[in-house]
């Protein structure tokens, strides 16, 4: 099935390497922008909500949003205030920076056959140098296997590096593929499920109103399907923990 937004872009008459622009009425061809998907501030024009959205709008709370739960929380904590949710990932107390500990907040994955999941990261606070991973995560609760797409943790020089990674168990890396791309704060990540074996990866940074397509992955070599979706924050075992501040999680058609 064609990604709905890509179909909109094609129907607009935009050519290869040309973005479609919303003129207030319809999508029309715009300036050349290869790989760009104009989302007009990520609003409903790129799809109707499927009922999974969280805007982190509680004036103050230390309770996870409705239908969300922790995976491997340790001594982690959550706080919601000022239009954002802060996820503190506690360290494991280990001795190395080459292994990491993941804390996740998850909810049931969309039941629809295709969807677009979007996460906006407002800020990071890494207590061990620049080492922190924050990502959209898809997880199979039965096996504990999961995939993550977002910021890599692979060293201070790579703080802004984007990667797609697969994990055979909590904190156990199976494979990681840095994309070679970087992103600034605020960061925007999107996973688009286009079929049972194909997930498109998109990213944007700053206050841009467009996203760049990075590629398509097939995670079925790791696990056939996922029943949980959420947010992962990772920190080195020897670190002092890390925090990620997120202000929008949306799942759209």
Residue 40: per-residue pLDDT: 42
pLDDT interval class at 148 (50, 70, 90): very high
pLDDT for 69 equals 98
The backbone torsions φ and ψ at residue 67, rounded to the nearest 5 degrees and listed phi first, read 80, 0
Query: What confidence category does residue 2 fall into, taking pLDDT thresholds of 50, 70 and 90?
Result: very low
Per-residue confidence (pLDDT) for residue 31, from 0 to 100: 37
Starting at the earlier edge strand, list the strands of the sheet with 146-151.
69-71, 100-108, 228-236, 133-139, 146-151, 161-169, 172-182
Q: What pairs with residue 249 in β-bridges?
A: 54, 119
Q: What is the mean pLDDT of the chain?
A: 78
How sure is the predictor about 124, in pLDDT bands with cuts at 50, 70 and 90?
confident
Please provide the size of the chain in residues.
253
Mean pLDDT (whole number) for 185-214: 86
The whole-model pTM stands at 0.80
- Domains, the chain: 47-204+214-252 (2.60.120.200)
Mean pLDDT along residues 191-205? 93
Residue 26 pLDDT greater than 80, yes or no: no
- What's the pLDDT band for 178 if we cut at 50, 70, 90? confident
Lowest mean pLDDT among 50-54, 66-70, 95-99: 95-99
238 vs 94: CA distance, rounded Å: 5
Task: Provide the pLDDT confidence category of residue 95 given band limits of 50, 70 and 90.
Answer: low
Q: State how far the Cα of 183 lies from the Cα of 159, in Å rounded to an integer.
A: 9
Name the nearest CA neighbour of 250 among 28, 111, 55.
55
**Per-residue confidence at 29, pLDDT binned at 50, 70, 90?**
very low
Confidence of residue 120 (pLDDT cuts 50, 70, 90): very high
The mean per-residue pLDDT over the stretch 87-103 comes to 79
Position 37 pLDDT exceeds 60: no
Residue 166 has pLDDT above 80, yes or no: yes
Please give the structure tokens belonging to residue 143.
């096996």
Is pLDDT of 21 > 50? no
User: Which of 67-76, 85-94, 208-217 has maximum average pLDDT?
Assistant: 67-76
């Amino acid at each position: 099935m064609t990604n709905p937004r890509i179909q909109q872009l094609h129907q607009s008459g935009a050519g290869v390497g040309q973005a479609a622009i919303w003129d207030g009425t319809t999508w029309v061809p715009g300036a050349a922008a290869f790989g760009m998907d104009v989302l007009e501030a990520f609003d409903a024009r790129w799809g109707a909500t499927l009922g999974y959205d969280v805007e982190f709008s509680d004036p103050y709370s230390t309770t996870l949003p409705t239908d969300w739960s922790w995976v491997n929380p340790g001594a982690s904590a959550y706080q919601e205030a000022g239009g954002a949710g802060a996820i503190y990932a506690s360290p494991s107390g280990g001795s190395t920076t080459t292994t990491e500990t993941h804390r996740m907040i998850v909810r049931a994955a969309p039941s629809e056959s295709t969807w677009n999941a979007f996460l906006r990261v407002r800020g990071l606070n890494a207590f061990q140098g620049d080492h922190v991973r924050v990502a959209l995560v898809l997880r199979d609760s039965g096996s504990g296997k999961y995939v993550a797409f977002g910021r890599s943790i692979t060293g201070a020089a790579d703080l802004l590096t984007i990667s797609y990674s697969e994990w055979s168990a909590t904190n156990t890396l199976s494979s990681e593929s840095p994309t070679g791309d970087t992103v600034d704060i605020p960061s925007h990540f999107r996973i688009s499920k286009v079929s049972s074996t194909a997930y498109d990866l998109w990213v944007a940074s700053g206050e841009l109103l467009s996203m760049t397509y990075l590629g398509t992955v097939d995670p079925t070599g790791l696990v056939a399907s996922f029943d949980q979706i959420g947010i992962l924050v990772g920190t080195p075992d020897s670190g002092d923990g890390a925090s990620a501040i997120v202000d929008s999680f949306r799942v759209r058609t």
